[in-house]
Chains A and B, each alone.
Chain A
Amino acid sequence: MVDFETKKHIIECLDKGVRYDGRKNADFRILEIKTGFIETAEGSAHVKCGNTEVIAGVKMSVEKPFPDTPDEGILMVGAELLPMSNPKYEGGPPDATSIELARVIDKGIRESKTLDNKRLCITAGEKVWTINVDICPLNDDGNLMDVGSMAAIAAILDARFPAYENDKVDYKKKTTEAIPVSKIPIAITVIKIGNNFIVDPTELEESALDARLTLISMDNGELCALQKGGEGPLTLEQIDKMLDLGMKKAEEIRKLIKKK
């Protein structure tokens, strides 16, 4: 957590519409997305958002399906807060922050129903494709939730099935077949500091937040997942404002991604 004086100063600046890096409250940092650069992965993406940098990779394997969904493929999202990316992270087993990060990103992809799970089935009850998405931050300067989510979906879009012959996956041979994806869910986190709402927070802004709301929305403007975080409570009016801001931002980001 940031100290009292710094927080007060951040709020005073935000009240005047000024952020430390010169952005407006509703501005994202400059986004750069690169895909398909990791040959050992079936799909990969590198997303840079200001100084925040994240790599996501997709690995696919053939597994036994869950008993309650015998004809559906499996999606697994993992995230590790690598100690490389920020001095505040330590090695060792994943803590609550990294589990929340992975679960929110997982939820966004799962609930958007963008994956056609039935088409990932090879033999019902016996063999289905498992899609493992792993998110590795290289440099954490805030907003890992949105950036990680973008990297995950970009890596899934980039992925191509490996060859599958005689009950064996041949990772050396990639096919041209892409993962069946129909929509692009976009995660936007709106944070509340004092009476201000901002998007794409830096690490410093994140450390001063009262509350945050991550909303994941679809092409048609519907929401598919939400997660509130932070110590502070939110009123209905505040949530209304945050949703408006987040959904407007999601549309802009979606257009940007579609261009690429």
Chain B
Amino acid sequence: MIQKVIIMVYNKRLDGRGFDELRSIEAKAGVIKKADGSGYFRMGKTVAYAAVYGPREMFPKFKQDPKKGVLRCNYNMMPFSGAGERVRPGPSRRSKEISFVTDKALSPVVDLNDFPNAVVDVYIELPQTDAGSRCCGINAAAIALADAGIPMRDIPAALAVGFIDGNVLVDLNYEEENLSHFIEGSEDVPDIPIAFIPSTDEITLLQMDGMINKENFMKALQKAKAVAVKISEAQRNALKEKYSKDVASNDNHEE
């Protein structure tokens, strides 16, 4: 009896994208009127809103820092935003961890030395997710902080990359993050969310789960760096668009 051996090679992406192609992205600034600054970022079917309030007095008081202001990020999935069952509202272990790493991803570019005892609150809400939600949230939050006029060195850009069968995959979606569920016999793709400071190429968020060797990992980072430029452009354009509109409407008032 001859046994057929099928070797699966992931040489074409499930959604037809090129290996270094992002999903369609969309960025907006100033989407939430009550907030001091706000942003919207969409990567494929993953959508994030971010609102910034502050600098304002920090409560509870024992968390105040008399030397500088504190950045406080809060990541939350809306109850209907998951692919499967309803997500229970309120913080989970996962959302607390993501809030924490988001904080660390954004803090290095934010200068709060002029605001002792104050807090800058960043609220990230996801109405719909399809993998890459922490990166999408960071992208929206970075726009929101800039929109709020918080002193910043740069605007971080984040995305997730993976690696399979000799190729780096850029901006994984849910199917690729769980490839073995969708393609029989396939291995799982390592998932590497990264955030860059574009002007210095420094990395402020780095996580990985999955199996990968060092050489391929470094390849994945290089590719991520190259593609992050596109996210950065979208963020900047969103801010420019909002402020050119603001300026135009101010001019009208003066007339």
Contact = CB atoms under 8 A, between A and B. Distances in A.
Same assembly: yes
A206 B78 CA distance: 26
A93 interface: yes
Contact of B83 (A40, A84, A85, A93): A40
- Ordered nearest first, which 10 A-B pairs have the shortest CB separation? A57-B80, A41-B80, A59-B86, A84-B123, A134-B79, A84-B51, A38-B128, A51-B33, A59-B80, A40-B128
Interface of B is mostly: loop
Contacts of B125: 82, 84, 136, 138
A20 to B, nearest CB: 15
B85 A171 contact: yes
B89 A78 contact: yes
Interface string B55-95: 01000000000000000001010111111111001110000
Contacts of A83: 53, 74, 121, 123
A58 B86 CA distance: 9
Contact of B127 (A57, A61, A87): A57
Interface centre among B74, B84, B85, B86 (most CB of A within 10 A): B86
A59 B56 contact: no
Nearest to A169: B85
B129 interface: yes
Size band of the B side of the interface?
Answer: 20 to 34
A38 B34 contact: no
Contact of A78 (B34, B45, B79, B130): B79
* A-side interface size class: 20 to 34
Contacts of B123: 82-84
Nearest to A46: B127
Interface in A135-186: 136, 138-141, 169, 171-172
Contacts of A78: 79, 89
Interface string B117-129: 0000101010111
Contacts of A200: none
Contacts of B121: 83
28 contacts: A38-B80, A39-B128, A40-B128, A41-B81, A41-B128, A42-B80, A44-B127, A51-B33, A57-B79, A57-B80, A57-B81, A58-B80, A59-B79, A59-B80, A61-B85, A82-B125, A83-B53, A83-B74, A84-B123, A85-B32, A85-B34, A86-B34, A87-B56, A136-B79, A139-B32, A169-B85, A171-B84, A172-B83
